[in-house]
A = this chain, B = another copy of it.
C-alpha cells in the first residue's frame, strides 16, 4: 500500500460517522434538524492542479465549479461557500477575485466566510448545499442498471491540449476546460431517479470503475456510445483513439449515474425538458471490475483510465 493509500485508510478509521460515507463519496451528507446538508471541500494547488501562468480568473472559476459539481452529484442546491485563500501577488489576487465573483454570481451562491493567510498558493473551498431529495451516493448501482452520462465527454481534455499547443485552437473546447459548468439543475432533477450518481472529474473510465467498485458490481462501457461534441469530433475525429482519449481525459464535470432500464423514458424526457443530452453508455452486471466494448466487441482497457489524484 502506498503512503497515500495508508494515510487515507487511517483517515477512514477516523470518519466513522455515517454522514462521512466512509470518505468514499464526493461529499458528506449530514442530517441536521430536518435538513439534509451536503458538504464538500476541494483544494487546488499551484503547480499541481493549475500552472502559475494560468489566468487567475479561471483558477477561481474552477475552484468554485469543482466544488459545486460535487454538490450537483448529490442533487443539492448550493447554499454558500467558505474560501481559504493565501494572499500573494496583488495583481493575481485581484484577478482571482474577479473570477471568483463571476462564478459565485453565475451559480447564485453566497460567500459566507473563510480565511486569508500568507503562504503558498494552496486554495481551498468548502461548499455547503441543501438536498431536498435523497442525495444519491456512488454505491447504489445494481446489476441490470444502465450507466448514463450527461452532456459530452472529452471536451475539457481536448481544451487542455489546445492550450498546450497540441491541437489547433477551438474556443469551445478551451472554454470547457477553463470554465466548467457544474450540472446543478440537472443533478437536482436526477437525484430521485437514479440509484447512484457522481461527477466525472478524473475521467469517464476511472470514475465509472469507482462507481462499480463502491456499488459491488461490474460495469461495462460501450465506447461507441460515449457522447462526443461537434467541436470534439471536428478537432479529433471519431476514431477509436479519439474516443479512448475522451473517455480517459477528465475535467468533464458531467454527471455519471446509474438507473434501472425502466427509468429510460423518464430520463430522456428530462433531457428534453432541460435541453441537456443524457446518454446511456453502458450497464452494470453481477461481479466486479470495468470492461470496455466497441460495437459489441470486447476491447482491452487502456493502460491509463484517467487521473489517479482528484
A14 touches B113 (CB 8 A): no
| Contacting residues, chain B, for A87 (C-beta < 8 A) | 3-4, 7
Confirm or deny: A167 has a beta carbon within 8 angstroms of a beta carbon on chain B: no
**How many chain A residues touch B (Cβ–Cβ < 8 Å)?**
65
Confirm or deny: A289 has a beta carbon within 8 angstroms of a beta carbon on chain B: no
Leading 8 A-B pairs by shortest Cβ distance: A17-B110, A45-B119, A33-B35, A122-B122, A28-B112, A41-B82, A124-B124, A28-B113
CB distance from A59 to the nearest CB of B (A): 14
B128 touches A39 (CB 8 A): yes
Given A79-B32, A84-B124, A86-B45: A39 in contact with B119 (beta carbons within 8 A) = no
Tell me the A95-117 residues at the B interface (CB within 8 Å). Answer: 97, 100-101, 104, 110-117
Confirm or deny: A20 has a beta carbon within 8 angstroms of a beta carbon on chain B: yes
Chain B, residue nearest A21 (CB): B113
Confirm or deny: A11 has a beta carbon within 8 angstroms of a beta carbon on chain B: yes
Confirm or deny: A43 has a beta carbon within 8 angstroms of a beta carbon on chain B: yes
| Bound: A190/B66 CA distance, A | 39
A41 touches B113 (CB 8 A): yes
| Contacting residues, chain B, for A80 (C-beta < 8 A) | 17, 19-20, 28, 30, 39
| Contacting residues, chain B, for A14 (C-beta < 8 A) | 97, 100-101, 104, 111
CB distance from A253 to the nearest CB of B (A): 16
CB distance from A117 to the nearest CB of B (A): 5
Which of A8, A25, A43 counts the most B-chain CB atoms under 10 A from its CB? A43
Can you report 29 residue pairs joining A to B where beta carbons are below 8 Å apart? A3-B87, A4-B116, A7-B90, A10-B97, A11-B111, A15-B110, A15-B111, A15-B112, A17-B80, A20-B111, A23-B111, A33-B35, A37-B128, A39-B82, A39-B113, A39-B128, A41-B84, A41-B115, A41-B124, A43-B84, A45-B117, A45-B120, A47-B119, A82-B126, A84-B122, A115-B310, A117-B309, A119-B122, A120-B120
Which residues of A come within 8 Å of B, CB atoms? 3-4, 7-8, 10-11, 14-17, 19-21, 23, 25, 27-28, 30, 32-35, 37, 39-43, 45-49, 79-80, 82-84, 86-87, 90, 93-94, 97, 100-101, 104, 110-120, 122, 124, 126, 128, 130, 309-310
CB distance from A229 to the nearest CB of B (A): 29
| Bound: A119/B42 CA distance, A | 13
Contact of A32 among B21, B32, B83, B117 (CB under 8 A): B32
Contact of A16 among B4, B110, B114 (CB under 8 A): B110
| Bound: A119/B45 CA distance, A | 6
| Contacting residues, chain B, for A110 (C-beta < 8 A) | 15-17, 19-20
